[in-house]
Structure 1
């Protein structure tokens, strides 16, 4: 039988990872985990943690991460099978006998690696020989040092349809074709796949040659500039990252991994001393490639050309990553100046210019917002609604519920600020002097009565009353929170009249300094027992609006959680296991929410009465 994932899970479960690690690393107990100085990089303050329950280790300094098997491979230097055998002996388990089919496939792959390694030696020898003169001149013209040419294994495929077949005749046609080195046309004639091109070996995570990339010396119409090996038993381009075996150790030191568009970009960066770069192989980033990146660092940096094609490539990567986002797992984006690739930028502006860009990448959400905002003109309400629809469509692809909720809120806030900017004063309106008496604005008597009833407890008390009073004081904020208020109305029908009144107020109220809300102007002042910083006249407007935004978020969040919990309870009979787990998660979120609400309550404005050094926490309803 084969070594199945289930067998490996049992092996991990039987091994106390902390005991294994403590053979060579000093660990101390830290709650449910163990911590110590990371063995993969030099550090004085411990950032390396081992979790026996989850059976993995993780370094927050260099990003090293793995289980018992990877510990034996990466730290002890064993091969995979040697690591399996040693751990199985420790755990008292029998190593499964090899599956004959899998064993045959492994033997075939090993044989094919013999072919690709031999082909690499042939290409390197050809580069150094008489036929490689033009290729050597090309590499020199590109500015690649002799060290880089040797380190990355540049070679030359002679412009001869049978050169490789003659040089590697010991392997036979079937093996050469199986390794992707030869192909056949419709007439059955076999020929070398790579001819008249500079070659580059593509290596796996262990540094073994599994495929090739090749570039023509002189671009000409009808001839592909770059040519990669086709997929073989050795090579799956969707599961391979170019330069991974070199970049992974460098990333542990830098805490960063840079993803560029092609392998020549990787080499240009390495030529300048930036060694933590990788590249996909002619395709957009795949889910498997993203997982490989996240094993190295939490936030890989994607570096794209600044032209329209580079922007589209960035969005393809973002769309692929959104469903996979998780806490502390995202992407950052660097856009190069238009018309420049990494090599051009380094040659024209120097390595420091490249490092500055890599040091300040844009978060994924910023790139998503800017791309969709600038995708098409937004001159009409319909176009603006289309922008919001596109943003929310992206949000719906996110699987993690917490991250989805945060993205929805953040993008909704950005959309509201963009689509509902503060309005200019109405024609003929003159802002009065501070303290001047104003006639009541155009709010209807019914709307004014509803507002007064809401603030003074006619419908809800506490935080709701404070938020309504705050939005009446700062009516320009109503548009900013329109989406949140609409959500509140959907989840809490008693709040629907409130939302209607606030939207009416947005058309009629304006802020007139510190006295925007007072009975003489026809707008009810907040009750004396409602004391929050955003209602205190001494609070700066900017600070008050931020406090008010937090209050709105708290007001809306609990009804949404309660609605989600009710829906989860309702599906208990059809999915008891899933419903139970979801109920536990939502109840935990409600407990966390209550703590946040209490903490916010403690931030109220100081009471007026002397000696009253505490104020009761406001309830949601």
Structure 2
């Protein structure tokens, strides 16, 4: 099934967004828009707006944003294709038909869903029966509330080898294909789960697709935890336990936590932390990382504090490094040695768990600490091995800007660790004595460099924002070192402005960090572009305000090419991954709106400041002011 961007645009055009949202949210007309209290977070004053002309909703409180498809996936929890089908039926459009093989697979999956749903109900019934007494006792010892037991669907599988097959009205072939029975050549099939506390594993729509079972008899043979095998319903590398419950909670508070196993996830939910998921017997996969990033940009990994847990965290880091992109990373919690999240909550309470989550380390910090502490560093060879391991991680990063930044940061940390600090040379300032004090002077630039900078200021670079930032850095050269890394990153991505930025960075190497005088050009500094709107270019702006305004402008300048590149990448992969590309597009378009809003806010501040100055000037020249 191929959904082209053009077909999706037609679907959005035929859909009245306010009608879709108005089915579950009470909307009030507000000019050309509609408003309401946001359904994604608790509020008393409406900050949620729906615009039919532009085809999107936006909450100014929690930043929820999207179109009709996003509404159905986020607010109602529908999978992407189900949301598309529902809107298409209402709009009178035909969804491009799947090929016959896809239709056959879909029909088979529907039948297997009947099997897993019936098995789940049977397991739940067995838990409440006399034979489920031991399982109920275990749940009570774990401290799970009755609400959590019901919500997570705990059940019990009896010890008999044929109990499930005798109870369910399905042929052995279907039970085997659903992973409920095991087929052995030359023998009768038998039930996979026996004498175990049972947990359903569900998809994004809450449908049961597989099971996990925990053994109750410590002396019994078999693994402590047993999961269903992979089936037409269940792909463990593409499934995260509890995602259908965690996703709505993550949208409420902007956080999602990854733990090692489903019992840890349930323990945290039992303590009131709902936004928790777990992989299913495998290391965190690339597909699972992408699932997490669709919810939040910085998921928190919370693995056990033993060596196995730390190795699991490093395997996850190894998987995520090639996938890193602007704004997307991981945070890692280091649990106390020998403890898992359930232990921490039972011994120290949920407040200790919240404190651990709030103090999660960044991916780069964790990478550095793990490799630094991996082996004793007692010789030059040991230290060289540390650097080699760090650089091997860096080379795995595919995004060029992130790779360069990781390389620089890790090299700096390695140098600080491996070598004693160098003795600083005394600084001999450039300047002159004026009235008993020393006035710092910035260097004069060569004619070639001056011409390059003048072209950038007068419009030879990309646009007004770039020109204004270059002019502002000439006026405030002491700010160049503060933004050196961001400016260097921008210079590599913009061939037009890059040479001018490089010249500024070279000039900054001759500056004292306390320099306040503008950088001089042979013919003097040209006037800024006529249509500039930035406070840092006004001579009357307070120096502190000018530095803050310039810092924000540099941030916007660096962010824009990364944002545009990410949007282009998402659009390019629409045909091969419509759901993922759509989610990324929505998130990036939201960031683009925020980008434009920040530019507009800078203009508003400048306009307000100019209006205040004009008013003060007018009052000062009036008869009343003269009196």
TM-score interval for Structure 1 and Structure 2 normalised by the shorter chain: 0.5 to 0.7
1:399-426 per-position Cα deviation (integer Å, ceiling 9, x unaligned)? 111111111111111111111123xxxx
Residue in structure 2 matched with residue 241 of structure 1 by the alignment? 240
Please, which moves more after superposition, 345-354 or 594-603? Answer: 594-603
Residue in structure 2 matched with residue 605 of structure 1 by the alignment? 514
Which of 413, 416, 423 aligns to 1:476? It is 423
TM-score, with structure 1 as normaliser: 0.67
Please, which moves more after superposition, 234-243 or 377-386? Answer: 377-386
Residue in structure 1 matched with residue 134 of structure 2 by the alignment? 134
CA, structure 1 residues 551+319, in 2 after alignment: closer, same or farther (shift >3 Å)?
same
Secondary structure class of the residue paired with 1:247: helix
In the alignment, structure 1 residue 152 sits paired with structure 2 residue 149: no
CA, structure 1 residues 555+41, in 2 after alignment: closer, same or farther (shift >3 Å)?
closer
Contact 2:478 2:514 in 1 (8 A): no
Residue in structure 1 matched with residue 5 of structure 2 by the alignment? 9
CA, structure 1 residues 241+590, in 2 after alignment: closer, same or farther (shift >3 Å)?
farther
In 1, Cα distance between the equivalents of 2:498 and 2:14?
31
In 2, Cα distance between the equivalents of 1:186 and 1:173?
14
CA, structure 1 residues 589+344, in 2 after alignment: closer, same or farther (shift >3 Å)?
farther
Deviation at 1:26, TM superposition (A): 8.7
In 1, Cα distance between the equivalents of 2:130 and 2:205?
32
In 2, Cα distance between the equivalents of 1:67 and 1:593?
41
Greater C-alpha radius of gyration:
1
In the alignment, structure 1 residue 107 sits paired with structure 2 residue 103: no
Residue in structure 2 matched with residue 299 of structure 1 by the alignment? 298
Secondary structure class of the residue paired with 2:170: helix
CA, structure 1 residues 598+167, in 2 after alignment: closer, same or farther (shift >3 Å)?
farther
Secondary structure class of the residue paired with 1:150: helix
Which of 501, 507, 520 aligns to 1:616? It is 520
Contact 2:18 2:52 in 1 (8 A): no
Matches within 5 A, 1:289-328: 289-328=288-327
Deviation at 1:142, TM superposition (A): 1.3
Deviation at 1:528, TM superposition (A): 4.5
Residue in structure 2 matched with residue 95 of structure 1 by the alignment? 95
Deviation at 1:260, TM superposition (A): 0.3
In 1, Cα distance between the equivalents of 2:138 and 2:202?
23
In the alignment, structure 1 residue 41 sits paired with structure 2 residue 37: no
Secondary structure class of the residue paired with 1:200: strand
CA, structure 1 residues 359+159, in 2 after alignment: closer, same or farther (shift >3 Å)?
same
CA, structure 1 residues 592+9, in 2 after alignment: closer, same or farther (shift >3 Å)?
farther
Residue in structure 1 matched with residue 572 of structure 2 by the alignment? none
Secondary structure class of the residue paired with 1:338: coil
In 2, Cα distance between the equivalents of 1:418 and 1:50?
55
In 2, Cα distance between the equivalents of 1:145 and 1:384?
51
In 1, Cα distance between the equivalents of 2:57 and 2:505?
31
In 1, Cα distance between the equivalents of 2:283 and 2:90?
43
In 1, Cα distance between the equivalents of 2:158 and 2:502?
68
In 1, Cα distance between the equivalents of 2:373 and 2:257?
26
Matches within 5 A, 1:176-325: 176-220=175-219, 222-325=221-324
Deviation at 1:204, TM superposition (A): 0.4
1:122-151 per-position Cα deviation (integer Å, ceiling 9, x unaligned)? 111111111111111111111111111111
Deviation at 1:598, TM superposition (A): 8.7
CA, structure 1 residues 91+296, in 2 after alignment: closer, same or farther (shift >3 Å)?
same
1:304-347 per-position Cα deviation (integer Å, ceiling 9, x unaligned)? 11111111111111111111111111110111111111111111
Contact 2:303 2:333 in 1 (8 A): yes
The runs of 5 or more residues in structure 1 that have no matched partner are 423-474, 478-510, 518-524, 535-546, 565-583, 608-612
The runs of 5 or more residues in structure 2 that have no matched partner are 22-26, 433-438, 444-476, 523-627
Residue in structure 2 matched with residue 576 of structure 1 by the alignment? none
Contact 1:152 1:200 in 2 (8 A): yes
Contact 2:242 2:278 in 1 (8 A): yes
1:564-619 per-position Cα deviation (integer Å, ceiling 9, x unaligned)? 7xxxxxxxxxxxxxxxxxxx755465566667789999996357xxxxx644279x
Matches within 5 A, 1:410-421: 410-421=409-420
CA, structure 1 residues 117+62, in 2 after alignment: closer, same or farther (shift >3 Å)?
farther
Deviation at 1:298, TM superposition (A): 1.0
1:246-272 per-position Cα deviation (integer Å, ceiling 9, x unaligned)? 111111112100100000000111111
Contact 2:487 2:501 in 1 (8 A): no
In 1, Cα distance between the equivalents of 2:369 and 2:35?
41
Residue in structure 2 matched with residue 353 of structure 1 by the alignment? 352
Contact 2:182 2:189 in 1 (8 A): yes
Secondary structure class of the residue paired with 1:476: coil
CA, structure 1 residues 373+617, in 2 after alignment: closer, same or farther (shift >3 Å)?
farther
Aligned CA RMSD, in angstroms, stands at: 4.1
Contact 1:119 1:164 in 2 (8 A): yes
CA, structure 1 residues 159+336, in 2 after alignment: closer, same or farther (shift >3 Å)?
same
In 1, Cα distance between the equivalents of 2:220 and 2:441?
71
Deviation at 1:210, TM superposition (A): 0.4
In 2, Cα distance between the equivalents of 1:45 and 1:420?
57
Contact 1:35 1:50 in 2 (8 A): no
Residue in structure 2 matched with residue 494 of structure 1 by the alignment? none
CA, structure 1 residues 49+374, in 2 after alignment: closer, same or farther (shift >3 Å)?
farther
Contact 2:179 2:228 in 1 (8 A): yes
Residue in structure 1 matched with residue 374 of structure 2 by the alignment? 375
Residue in structure 1 matched with residue 446 of structure 2 by the alignment? none
1:265-312 per-position Cα deviation (integer Å, ceiling 9, x unaligned)? 001111111111000001110011111111111111110111111111
Contact 2:17 2:56 in 1 (8 A): no
